[in-house]
Chains A and B, each alone.
Chain A
Amino acid sequence: MLTDIALISQVVTLGSERAFSLLVERHQEAVRRFLLRLTSGDAMRADDLAQETFIRAWQGLRSLRRLSGFQTWLFSIAYNIFIDDERRAQASATTRESDSDATTNEVRAYGPDADTVLINHDIDLALQRLSEAERTCVVLQCIEGQSIRDISRITGMNENTVKSHLLRGKKTLADFLLHNGYDRTATTM
């Protein structure tokens, strides 16, 4: 299996669409999951933003300096696109889709498994307690396994700010989960 660096080289030197398609295939899951959490489970919106992320990646692949940090770079594009989209939505005061619509979208994203949909619904419900910055940091660390340094690169915040967002976010989440009896049951709230 070709490494990310080999595929990126093929895209940059030969403009290989096949290599880029392999990169998309390899990283789509992480990017879509990240955006799905940021958009509180709105799969349709997350997919639109993920598509835009990969299109921007295709256009800007030549500007990628740290080849080994391709996924971090994708996350940073996705995060910026999400922030822009949020601002646009706030500016135009567009009403978000209702909870039932979000659940329908989750079914589309995860398949018809009811447990999976409910668990993810719980996760999104819990993450909604956090501020946008806290949610981003927590999702990147706890779900996507990114380091504090990489979170700092992705979001453009300095490392101390990331640490404090993580601390506050985790505390809020833990309190919310305890309050809802999550420590007693391993299943849905």
Chain B
Amino acid sequence: MKSDNEILTQFFSEARTPIADDGFTARVMHALPRQARIWHISRINLWLNMATAAASVALVIYFVISQLSHVVAAHHPTLLHDNSSFSEIGTKTFYVTVMHILTRLNTLAEGLQVQLYLYLHRLPDMLPSLTQILALAAMLIILTAYSLSHTQRQGIAKE
């Protein structure tokens, strides 16, 4: 005579019958709520796109200001003459003002450059290795590329 536990163990050993997928996973994936899925993906994409756009704009502004102020500063001595007409003075004053602003911005840019230089020089002390920085950068690039390509795909799908 078997004990209760032995009977149950034997009985239930036959209960773990394998159940084939038979398209169940595909049906579930097809039935996932569309709206929730878009919201879910678009939220992370929104943040990634915003961060990418902000970084791109900041870089463009930085380089444009940096290059433009160098160009204006190089031409500065030829901008003003003693026998300039009133309109020429007005135009030249405008140029000088622009140049002044750009010089200030250039100083700011140079300051930023110095800060960046110092930051990059301090990086090895702050982070364990350059490999990790590169890995992090690679991850960010892949993530951004994925995000952008996904947005593009979504756009194509909507069309």
Contacts and interface: CB of A to CB of B under 8 A. Distances in A.
Interface of A: 13-15, 17, 20-21, 24-25, 28-29, 32-33, 36-37, 47, 50-51, 54-55, 58-59, 109-111, 116, 119-120, 123, 126, 142-143, 170-171, 173-174, 177-178, 182-183, 186
Contact of A32 (B1, B11, B24): B24
A109 B19 contact: yes
B32 A29 contact: no
Nearest to A139: B15
Contacts of A126: 11
Interface in B1-20: 1-2, 4-5, 7-12, 14-20
Contacts of B74: none
A17 B37 contact: yes
Interface of B: 1-2, 4-5, 7-12, 14-21, 24-25, 27-29, 31-33, 36-37, 40-41, 44, 146
25 contacts: A13-B44, A14-B41, A15-B44, A20-B29, A24-B24, A25-B21, A25-B25, A29-B18, A29-B19, A32-B19, A33-B19, A51-B28, A54-B28, A55-B33, A119-B14, A119-B15, A142-B8, A171-B4, A173-B8, A174-B8, A177-B11, A182-B7, A183-B1, A183-B7, A186-B10
B54 to A, nearest CB: 20
Given A15-B41, A123-B11, A24 B17 contact: no
Q: DSSP class of A's interface residues: helix, strand, loop or mixed?
A: helix
Contacts of A174: 4, 7-8
B7 A58 contact: no
A13 B4 CA distance: 48
A36 B15 CA distance: 11
A142 B15 contact: yes
Contacts, number: 94
A36 B19 CA distance: 10
Contacts of A13: 44
B82 to A, nearest CB: 67
A81 to B, nearest CB: 14
A37 B20 CA distance: 16
Contact of A59 (B8, B12, B33, B41): B33
Contacts of A17: 29, 32, 37
Interface hub of A15, A109, A177 (most chain B Cβ within 10 A): A15
Contacts of A186: 10
A174 B4 CA distance: 5
Given A24-B25, A174-B8, A178-B7, A55 B32 contact: yes
Given A14-B41, A28-B19, 20 more contacts: A14-B146, A17-B37, A21-B25, A24-B25, A28-B21, A28-B24, A55-B31, A55-B32, A58-B33, A59-B33, A110-B19, A111-B20, A119-B15, A123-B11, A142-B12, A143-B12, A173-B8, A174-B8, A177-B7, A183-B1
| B1, B16, B44 pick with most chain A CB within 10 angstroms | B16
Q: Which of B5, B7, B15, B21 has the most CB of A within 10 A?
A: B15
A119 to B, nearest CB: 5
B1 to A, nearest CB: 6
